[in-house]
Amino acid sequence: MTTTLDRPLAQPELEPPEARTIDKVAIVVSKGSLEGIYPGLIMANGARMEGIEAELFFTFFGLDAIRKDRQAKIKVATVGNPGLHMPTLLGALPGFSAVATKMMARQMAKLDIPPIPEFVELVADSGAGIYACKATVEMFGLTEADFVPQLTGIATVGEFYALAAGGQIIFT
Amino acid sequence: MTVAEQVRTDPEGFLLDPSDWTRDLGEQIAAENGISELTDRHWQVIEFMRERYLATGNAPSIRSLGKESGVPVKELYQLFPKGPAKLAAKIGGIPKPRGCI
């Protein structure tokens, strides 16, 4: 039996369009692969370009994006990534991830998308805060010295929510 | 007279025809967008944007703006807090940059 809704699921809002803007975003980057890190950086940079405040919170393997020793070594995940449309076993071959990463880097350079180290610097220079998740920092036994100089600080989840207050939170 | 009364603009206030632009108009667009005084550093960015657009048909990305305009990214955001590429394009009388970077 089917039932029919007697009213639309979403009520149209009556606010004027100019009142509906986003003034602030807080973006969580939780994955350490190339395709896990870029979206957060692109969204943070895009926010700043529109004059929207942005904070970036790196957690778990997402921390690699701001770790001195790992930032330049981030690769595309070629195993368990159905988006690549190729057999998983092929993706597991030695060097395959490096090749896929190189191909993608070339494509991105064409579009003027910077490599991750430069991108983090660009986003930081544009005024976005760069935070490392305290729980992950402790879990991996890291200190501030392990991070790139753009790091604004190490923040607890509570501090992150305080920073995000009044804005939208985006989890990537 | 407001900018929109003098020349044709899109709904966001970007000039529809870059050839309608003059420096005086640029100053007025800036004032209408919260920048009361344009310094030499502002003009350096605005002129770079405009020249690049007129030469290539594309406005530069924030990345190339920071690298090639002679004004670094940090300063770009101090000069144009509401978005350097977008505002410099508007003041320079060229269409809104549509790149994601």
A51 CB neighbours in chain B (<8 A) are 81-83, 86
User: What value of ipTM does the predicted structure carry?
Assistant: 0.93
A154 strand-pairing partners: A132
Does B80 qualify as catalytic in the annotation?
no
Evaluate if residue B78 carries a pLDDT over 90: yes
Copy the structure tokens of residue A172.
Answer: 């990537």
A53 strand-pairing partners: A24
pLDDT tens sequence across A104-124: 999 999 988 999 999 999 999
Q: Is B44 within 8 Å of A95 (Cβ atoms)?
A: no
Q: Which amino acid is at B78?
A: Q
pLDDT tens sequence across A64-73: 999 999 999 9
Q: How far apart are CA A29 and CA A57, in angstroms?
A: 6
Q: What angle in degrees, to the nearest 10, is found between the helix axes of B40-56 and B84-91?
A: 80
B73 CB neighbours in chain A (<8 A) are 122, 125-126
Please give the residue of chain A at the shortest CA–CA distance from B72: A125
Copy the structure tokens of residue A70.
Answer: 């790992």
Q: Is A89 within 8 Å of A96 (Cβ atoms)?
A: no
User: Rounded to whole angstroms, what are the CA distances from A108 to A71, A73, A113, A119, B16?
Assistant: 17, 16, 5, 12, 30
Can you tell me whether residue B30 is helix, strand or coil?
helix
pLDDT tens sequence across A33-73: 999 999 999 999 999 999 999 999 999 999 999 999 999 99
Mean pLDDT of A118-144: 97
